[in-house]
Amino acid sequence: MKRLAVYCGSATPADPRYMALAHEVGASLAERGIGVVYGGGKAGLMGAVADGALSAGGEVIGVIPTALVNLEVAHRGLTELHVVETMHQRKQAFTDLSDGFVTLPGGVGTLDELWEAISWAQLGYHAKPVGLLNAFAYYDGLLAFNAHMAEVGFVRSAHRDILISADTLDELLEKMANFTPAKTVVQMRVDDL
């Protein structure tokens, strides 16, 4: 994996562990020679990931919609900053520019990015690993709900392992490196659906 899209919040939580985690993840990816593709902002966890990677000499590519650039939230010290018109174009660029996805703690936008990456993998729009860093047990409830969706039958058995989760970055990257793409919906027979 030469580049990973990193999804995370643009907020700065009161608990300083989240900002420290984001900075550490950015630096750790850079030290491994893995470039960061992210939302292009300078605030919150997003900015901390970028700053961590940059401080370790890493490549950081930001993708940000024009509306957010105009609010002056764009990080101006990146390796590259791609300005797009829509959020859909932003998520497409994340997919096009990266070899996989890592999701850190975040809010609604972060979950939107994560679920779209999973959905696109199910449909066969990409065959890249989708990772979830469950630091501080932040995503325990989400992982339980994902398992519940599978138990009920809304996530096909072939797609249960698309979402790769781990509590540490080292473990997550190892799992992602060993990822095998799932059989996609378009490869299935009608009876499988």
CB distance 3 to 36 below 8 Å: yes
189 found inside a domain: no
User: Does residue 33 sit within a domain?
Assistant: yes
Q: Kindly report the CATH number assigned to the domain that includes residue 150.
A: 3.40.50.450
Helix (H, G, I), strand (E, B) or coil at 9: coil
Q: Is residue 156 part of a domain?
A: yes
Residue 7 lies in a domain: yes
- Give me the pLDDT at residue 183, please: 79
Question: Who contacts 62 (Cβ-Cβ below 8 Å, separation ≥6)?
Answer: 37, 38, 39, 40, 41, 50, 74, 75, 78, 80, 81, 82
Residue 118's alpha-carbon distances to 90, 124, 145, in angstroms, are 16, 10, 14
Instruction: Report phi then psi at 158, rounded to 5.
Output: -65, -20
The Cα 129–Cα 120 span in angstroms is: 11
Q: Helix, strand, coil % (nearest 5) of the chain?
A: 50, 15, 35
Determine the 3-state secondary structure of 126 from DSSP: coil
What is the span of the domain harbouring residue 105? 3-179
Question: Would you give per-residue pLDDT tens digits along the chain (193 residues)?
Answer: 999 999 999 999 999 999 999 999 999 999 999 999 999 999 999 999 999 999 999 999 999 999 999 787 999 999 999 999 999 999 999 999 999 999 999 999 999 999 999 999 999 999 999 999 999 999 999 999 999 999 999 998 889 999 999 999 999 999 999 999 877 866 765 555 5
Domain assignment of residue 185, yes or no = no
Look at residue 152 and tell me if it is in a domain.
Answer: yes
- The total domain count for the chain is 1
pTM of the model: 0.94
Q: Which two tokens stand for residue 103?
A: 């999701």
Per-residue DSSP letters for 64-121?
Answer: EEHHHHHTT-B-TTSSEEEEESSHHHHHHHHHHH-S-EEE-S--HHHHHHHHHHHHHH
Q: Give the per-residue pLDDT at 102.
A: 98
Show the tokens assigned to 61. Answer: 């590519």
CA distances from 146 to 7, 60, 91, 161, 182 (A): 18, 31, 22, 10, 16
Q: What angle do CA 99, 104, 107 make, to 5 degrees?
A: 120
